[in-house]
Amino acid sequence: MTQPADTPAARVDLVVLGGGSGGYAAALRAAELGMTVVMIEKDKVGGTCLHRGCIPTKALLHSAETVEVIKEAAQFGVNGTFESVDLPAVNKYKDKVVEGLYKGLTGLVKSRKIEVLQGTGRLTSGTSVEVALEDGSTRTVEAGHVLLATGSVPRSIPGLEIDHQRVITSDDALGMGSIPGSVVILGAGAIGCEFASVWRSFGAEVTIVEALPHLVPLEEESSSKLLERAFRKRGIKQELGARFEKVEPTDEGVRVTLEGGKTLEADLLLVAIGRGPVSKDLGYEQAGVTLNRGFVEVDAYCQTSVPTISAVGDLIPTLQLAHVGFAEGILVAERLAGLAVTPIDYDGVPRVTYSSPEVASVGLTRKVAEERGYEVVEATYDLAGNGKARILGTAGAVKVLASKDGPVIGVHMVGERVGELIAEAQLITNWEALPGEVAQLIHPHPTMSEAVGEAHLALAGKPLHSHS
């Protein structure tokens, strides 16, 4: 039964609406700084990243990588036979990884004495949230500050109805009990390319449809072209610069029609055109919070148009990455605690697409740098000259961009597991290192990390294992 509206309200320092990456990071840091915190989550703490995004998809990608290792074992002198993919067993492994991390996170939240309310929250003022709890009752939480962190959901386009059976989202794809024979993927961003990589390794026929001219279109163009070449080699078909017109059911699956009349038939259509903010009917505008196309508008310190309300994560128009949510949540908690904080430099955030091969970058692309007035110099180191890359059998490159006579402004990589190399590149770009300064650093041999050093050696005018 619903409690009366005058149910006594709990007063805390911070109420966090949403327990995903940004929300729980803020809650943990705020509690660490001595604040009393209530966190409201309608599903499970951890949000999209832990339960329907980063973690489960990367577990699937590791299973897919294992398939490729078995298939290619002979080239390394190992005799092995690939039999099949047991998808229920793959899902069991994936779910075990998620569950282990979830238990660890909930234990951490409990240890910081953060109260978690399981239910749906709605903003009722600049300092209060009403929660519809699972048992049917309601509770109002009053706080000195409110943090909005309600995240995002998969987007579609007008006229494209998702039935969750033949026309699916990434959420649906993670719960499938069988491997499709064929798939059309609409969208060639990180989500689309990662699922293309998984399903191709699992044996599906895959076609990616992208309206823009390249895969991962926001990346450096040379990186996109390297990924396109690698995907073609793997048998992943690509319809680039092609616009979706409609999808129709068939006896066997779906028929996708592109502008111009070309049709593609497959078992499934995966819609992977991005994620939209969850902000509708949550009381945001009524409380005075400014929205723009559903996103909450904030300043450089994640503060909204209402001084007592902040917002972080996929809800605001910044990079939709879990590690960005972590950083924004920490920034808000420290600002509320009175600590000196520095706005996030979003150009300096590392970005990774975990396909096979991976695409990783930090800083500016050449196009963006030139639009901002930089005179750009660059060097590219081909992984063909890297000993460890040869051992692993991976192809790709590391490209470094710098302003002429100035610091490094962008690093762009393609190759297996280059996501593990991007942290060094992040330090280089964020600390505005000169190519010559990085060239002085000694990288261990033989490692993939040498490729970063070699690219900087080339840009500094003293290439070692690459042509000038």
Lookup: tokens for 258: 């592109």
Q: Is 47 helix (H, G, I), strand (E, B) or coil?
A: helix
4 has pLDDT over 50: no
Q: Is 443 a catalytic residue?
A: no
Q: Is residue 466 very low, low, confident or very high in pLDDT (cuts 50, 70, 90)?
A: confident
Q: Is the pTM of the predicted complex or chain greater than 0.75?
A: yes
Q: Do residues 370 and 376 touch, judged by C-beta distance below 8 A?
A: yes
Q: Could you report the per-residue pLDDT of 154-189, keeping only the tens digit for each? A: 999 998 999 999 999 999 999 999 999 999 999 999
CATH architecture of 167-273: 3-Layer(bba) Sandwich (3.50)
Place of tokens 């149910």: 7
Query: Where along the chain do its domains lie?
Result: 10-53+91-153+276-346, 167-273, 357-459
Q: Could you report the per-residue pLDDT of 338-385, keeping only the tens digit for each? A: 999 999 999 999 999 999 999 999 999 999 999 999 999 999 999 999
10-53+91-153+276-346 against 167-273: fold identical: yes
238 has pLDDT over 80: yes
Q: Is residue 10 very low, low, confident or very high in pLDDT (cuts 50, 70, 90)?
A: low
Whole-angstrom CA distances from 58 to 53, 83, 297 are 8, 22, 31
Average pLDDT, the chain: 95
Q: Do residues 466 and 458 touch, judged by C-beta distance below 8 A?
A: yes
Burial of 343 (0-12, 13-18, 19+ CB in 10 A): exposed
Burial of 82 (0-12, 13-18, 19+ CB in 10 A): middle
Maximum alpha-carbon separation in the chain: 76
Q: Which of 323, 412, 443, 445 is catalytic?
A: 445
321 has pLDDT over 70: yes
Q: Which CATH number fits domain 357-459: 3.40.50.300, 3.30.390.30, 3.90.1150.10, 3.30.930.10?
A: 3.30.390.30
Q: Could you report the per-residue pLDDT of 48-70, keeping only the tens digit for each? A: 999 999 999 999 999 999 999 99
Q: How far apart are CA 438 and CA 432, in angstroms?
A: 10
Provide the pLDDT for residue 152. 96
* Neighbour count for residue 319 (Cβ, 10 Å): 17
Whole-angstrom CA distances from 29 to 25, 34, 224 are 6, 9, 37
Lookup: tokens for 287: 């409380």
272 has pLDDT over 50: yes
Q: What is the CATH number of domain 10-53+91-153+276-346?
A: 3.50.50.60
User: Hey, which residues does 41 pair with through a beta bridge?
Assistant: 118
Q: Do residues 316 and 296 touch, judged by C-beta distance below 8 A?
A: yes
Provide the pLDDT for residue 134. 87
Q: Could you report the per-residue pLDDT of 110-141, keeping only the tens digit for each? A: 999 999 999 999 999 999 999 999 888 999 99
Burial of 11 (0-12, 13-18, 19+ CB in 10 A): middle
Q: What are phi and psi of 102, to 5 degrees?
A: -65, -45
Q: Is residue 400 very low, low, confident or very high in pLDDT (cuts 50, 70, 90)?
A: very high
